[in-house]
Structure 1
Amino acid sequence: MKGSRRAVVLGLVLTLAGCRKGKEEAPAPLPPTPAEAPAPGAPPSQQQALPPDMRRALSSIAPLVESVKAAVVNVEVRDAAPSHQDTPWNGEGPDSPFGEESPFGAPFDGPREDAPRQGLGSGFVVDARGLVLTNNHVVEGATRIRVQFPDGKEMDAKVLGRDPLTDVAVLKLQGDVKGLPVVRLGDSDAMRVGDWVVAIGNPFGLASSVSLGIVSAKARDIQAGPFDDFLQTDAAINPGNSGGPLFNLHGEVVGINTAIAGQGSGIGFAVPSSLVKELLPQLEKQGSVTRGWLGVAVQELTPDLGSALGVPTGKGAVVTEVNEGTPAAEAGLKPDDVIVSAGGHPIASGHALTRTIALEAPGSTLPLTLYREGKKQEVVVTLGTRPDLEGVASREPSPEQEESPQQRVGLSLSDMDSRLARAQGLPRAGALVTEVVPGSNAERAGLVPGMVVVEAAGETVRRASDLARVVRDAPPGDALLLRVAVPGGGRVLRALTVPKQ
């Protein structure tokens, strides 16, 4: 969730009594309750297995949290985009469970619509080379990214790859990455409804916050994107948690916390780790995801449709349209075909077929099992490359776009006006400060609107473009000495620090 505060992380620790190391004796097992005990004298075949002893299940999650929290980071971004209303992750629509508000939180704070925005999210280190996973909506449009570890260490980061359609992004930390704490991606498919999970993140800027909950549901479609397959959890997730990890009891990441239901309490969603594992190699190597494509429109198979189509099953994907010149057309697929299996995997719905096809590589062959006019058939299709149906490519920022002083240090400038110079007792040449972004480096330097910069880093400043060039060309971390004229004719010095990036 991009915004002033957005990030979610789930982590969980289970300490079982009697599993401690050392010479401590394990406590004696508690006797079964009357409801658990078998009937006296009952034969072994009639004795029921005792249910799990949940009275001892959660002693403390502290050991788990201690083992993983060092790899959970705070992601701070500076965003040059004026708004994010064009993101496909808006959670809007008549069927959306989120009503009129985006599930990913409010937009980044900023003084006005066209000013640079700042926001916070979460992430976690998954590779000792400095790879950090987070949400795409946390870093989309960012011009600078700063990652902070729980011990206070800070590092700059760059986007290595991102996938808006699943809201996953990979960052690469810059600088010395030796000795980084790392967490491992687990198997989200193995998670069961009711399994414990823990979220660790930075909700509302409160670093390293921990919340405990369970997996409430699996394979949730919240209409956020075409490949929804979310884990639902009741572990507390708030703005600022976006991009953080959801841990199982083994300290493995089973999800990336991504969305919250604006109308509900204790309803959060995480991108499952099994999907992230599929995407990570492509995001790391090529920066984006290339997906397989069939070229059909499908709908859910209902029991009534199954009966009408002569299909002896209530689950599948009904083909409603086959586009010309597509892999589906070349393979001979027809409207009213009911696809029940793809690549040996059962297809329970049209949405499941879309996800399955998308995970296959373009150019690969995929066997389909389908019913046509009540008869079972096998068809082999050679997949194409999925086109940019959502227009994601058109929203990609240009990597060559130059960063303005406003984006880099929070400073808006204009050339001096002769009438203003006479009225305010200011020099007729220089860079007039017209706006200073709250919380920016320009504000910390003591610059305010109405000042005129006449010299920067030893160079004379005659117009706004002169100062813009000095700021743009300054190495990250440099402190620029500015000579500034103030209304009334006075001169002061200011030191403007260029952010590290």
Structure 2
Amino acid sequence: MPDLSKTLMRRAGAAALAAVLAAAPMAILATGPAVAAAGPPSVADLASQLIDSVVNISTTQTVGGGGDDGPAPQMPQLPPGTPFEDFFNEFFKNRKGEAPRPHKTSSLGSGFIVDASGIIVTNNHVIDGADDIEVNFNDGTKLSAKLIGRDKKVDLAVLKVEPTKPLKAVKFADSDKTRVGDWVLAIGNPFGLGGTVTLGIVSANNRDINSGPYDNYIQTDAAINRGNSGGPLFDMDGNVVGINTAIISPTGGSIGIGFSVPASTAAPVVDQLRKYGETRRGWLGVKIQQVTDDIAESLGMDQAKGALVAGVDDKGPAKPAGLAPGDVILKFDGKNIREMRDLPRIVADTPVDKEVEVVILRNGQEITKTVRIQRLDEGETPQKANAQPVEPEKPPVTKALGLEMSGITKEMRDKYKLADDAKGVVVTSVENGSPADDKQIKAGDVIVQVGQQVVNSPADVSARLDDLKKNGTKQALLLLSNGQGELRFVALALQ
């Protein structure tokens, strides 16, 4: 301290030294013992009430035995000169060509009781392929379980055990009311250690991790590890707000990024699996895509929202209701569609045969249509029409927006492997670095509509683009079809 004072005196004089010395006691106080910050209240009582409702699920599966069951055993990689090198060489030499012997593997997961009669919920991937399923309870009881039903799309399964006494069940919460920052409690069986409790908060809602068509996960920093799969995520009222399903981790251990299927998604699926042994989802019969900023601009929308209809199934309920490509679905059954991925989940949860109102944006106006929802056939494949269009006679090639276009001739159908019923204008080349190239338009794509009007020739495309420019439109909305007939919308800036 004396050396510091002399230095300051030389540089800034006595006033500077006085200021430093006056601040010194504050600095000393700041380095003293800190007052302990109050943490969250203990969750011991809550955990003790819930832990008997959480179970460990153990499965066994037979693998190997030749054929497609698994690869033949391979010689392990050993350092040259190791004492065991000769032994393993001889062992694998004698077994060369021998099929792998059948053997059993086991895995562990978690689950929870939703009905005292013995109904248990877990993840589908916990029991997938299992020959035997055993449920281990907190009091040490072990019971064999029967699979009631499962749903791969949301990774859920429902099991049934036959208890000798009533079990302690828990209820689903209204996860739609869950807010970022809410405390949550995870109970599971990480790494086979047994019942383990971890505490954290909701980090985010409505996460899409590209695991299925109905992704809307709750993200939490409550520690979730291997073996926690299928276990419950509780709110502070002791109700199940989510089902722990996945983590992001480079090591396989928790790094504070875990994902749970929300109760609002899980509960209807569980009810259907219990009632029918399968899911019975609603079906609208449309192909949709995201409304991007440039697409919204081309449609005259103030902001990007809703789900853009790119195609309508001929056999689906949307077609007789009057929905068409280019419509933007803004509301479905009274629920706002903020973005594309909201719609499939809401439609799937809609009861079959229910009549619902669908609010769409068409040509700048909101229109309400009534649709009777049908049941989704998960194995259904779209059928192609048999109509044979009249072949145009050698239409000229036209250039616009970085595209070279031609009418659809037999030569073009053969060259780009277009469907027999393909109609529109085929793209024959795309200028490198053009906006069309940036939007991944390729030779062989077919332009079906421009500015929500059907085009049948390159001349139609040019005329429609001219009309859009005259009207002051900055983005041209193109409806494209690939060789397989799959539709998508692309917005290109008019130059």
Q: Shorter-chain TM-score category?
A: 0.5 to 0.7
Pairwise CA distance, 1:185: 1.4
Check 1:75–1:390 CA distance in 2 against 1; reply closer, same or farther (3 A cut). Answer: farther
Pairwise CA distance, 1:362: 2.2
Return the letter of the residue paired with 1:250: D
SS at match of 1:217: strand
Aligned to 2:170: 183
Correspondence 1:27-38 to 2 at 5 A: none
TM-score, structure 2 length as denominator?
Answer: 0.60
Are residues 1:286 and 2:268 paired?
no
Are residues 1:249 and 2:236 paired?
yes
SS at match of 2:48: helix
Deviations, residues 41-63 of structure 1 (Å, cap 9, x unaligned)? xxxxxxxxxxxxx9656131111
CA RMSD in angstroms comes to 2.2
Aligned to 2:314: 324
Distance in 1 (CA, whole Å) between partners of 2:179 and 2:163 is 40
Are residues 1:140 and 2:128 paired?
yes
Aligned to 2:182: 195
Deviations, residues 78-134 of structure 1 (Å, cap 9, x unaligned)? 124669xxxxxxxxxxxxxxxxxxxxxxxxxxx969643211000011111111111
Aligned to 2:58: 76
Contact 1:311/1:371 (8 A) holds in 2? no
What percent identity do the matched residue pairs reach? Answer: 45
Contact 1:299/1:349 (8 A) holds in 2? no
Return the letter of the residue paired with 2:127: V
Distance in 2 (CA, whole Å) between partners of 1:273 and 1:175 is 25
Contact 2:333/2:356 (8 A) holds in 1? yes
Deviations, residues 305-361 of structure 1 (Å, cap 9, x unaligned)? 112112344210011111222212221211110000000000011111111111112
Correspondence 1:350-389 to 2 at 5 A: 350-389=340-379
Distance in 1 (CA, whole Å) between partners of 2:200 and 2:222 is 4
Aligned to 1:204: 191
Check 1:256–1:371 CA distance in 2 against 1; reply closer, same or farther (3 A cut). Answer: same
Distance in 2 (CA, whole Å) between partners of 1:163 and 1:338 is 30
SS at match of 1:240: coil
Distance in 1 (CA, whole Å) between partners of 2:241 and 2:316 is 36
Q: Which runs of 5+ in 2 are unaligned?
A: 1-35, 64-69, 72-98, 382-495
Contact 1:317/1:339 (8 A) holds in 2? yes
Distance in 2 (CA, whole Å) between partners of 1:347 and 1:145 is 40
Contact 1:158/1:174 (8 A) holds in 2? no
The structure 2 residue matched to 1:315, chosen from 298, 305, 310, is 305
Deviations, residues 242-264 of structure 1 (Å, cap 9, x unaligned)? 00000111111111100011348
Check 1:130–1:352 CA distance in 2 against 1; reply closer, same or farther (3 A cut). Answer: same
Are residues 1:166 and 2:148 paired?
no
Distance in 1 (CA, whole Å) between partners of 2:146 and 2:258 is 27
SS at match of 1:116: strand
The structure 2 residue matched to 1:65, chosen from 47, 72, 75, is 47
Contact 2:114/2:169 (8 A) holds in 1? yes
Distance in 1 (CA, whole Å) between partners of 2:227 and 2:191 is 5
Contact 1:221/1:230 (8 A) holds in 2? yes
Distance in 1 (CA, whole Å) between partners of 2:246 and 2:311 is 32
Are residues 1:126 and 2:108 paired?
no
Contact 1:135/1:167 (8 A) holds in 2? yes
Check 1:242–1:335 CA distance in 2 against 1; reply closer, same or farther (3 A cut). Answer: same
SS at match of 2:298: helix
SS at match of 1:142: coil
Return the letter of the residue paired with 1:339: I
Contact 2:282/2:373 (8 A) holds in 1? yes
SS at match of 1:350: coil
Distance in 2 (CA, whole Å) between partners of 1:113 and 1:332 is 59
Aligned to 2:225: 238
Contact 2:117/2:166 (8 A) holds in 1? no
Distance in 2 (CA, whole Å) between partners of 1:117 and 1:358 is 36
Aligned to 1:334: 324
Distance in 2 (CA, whole Å) between partners of 1:389 and 1:374 is 36
Distance in 2 (CA, whole Å) between partners of 1:273 and 1:220 is 14
Return the letter of the residue paired with 1:164: K
SS at match of 2:131: strand
Pairwise CA distance, 1:300: 1.3
Distance in 2 (CA, whole Å) between partners of 1:80 and 1:167 is 22
The structure 2 residue matched to 1:228, chosen from 215, 218, 222, is 215
Deviations, residues 232-285 of structure 1 (Å, cap 9, x unaligned)? 001111110000000111111111100011348211100111112212221101
Are residues 1:276 and 2:276 paired?
no
Contact 1:198/1:212 (8 A) holds in 2? yes
TM-score, structure 1 length as denominator?
Answer: 0.59
Contact 2:204/2:220 (8 A) holds in 1? yes
Contact 2:220/2:257 (8 A) holds in 1? yes
Contact 1:134/1:244 (8 A) holds in 2? yes
Return the letter of the residue paired with 1:158: K
Deviations, residues 154-174 of structure 1 (Å, cap 9, x unaligned)? 111111111111111111112
Contact 2:220/2:258 (8 A) holds in 1? yes
Contact 2:117/2:162 (8 A) holds in 1? no
Contact 1:146/1:155 (8 A) holds in 2? yes
Aligned to 2:295: 305
Deviations, residues 213-234 of structure 1 (Å, cap 9, x unaligned)? 1101101111101111110001
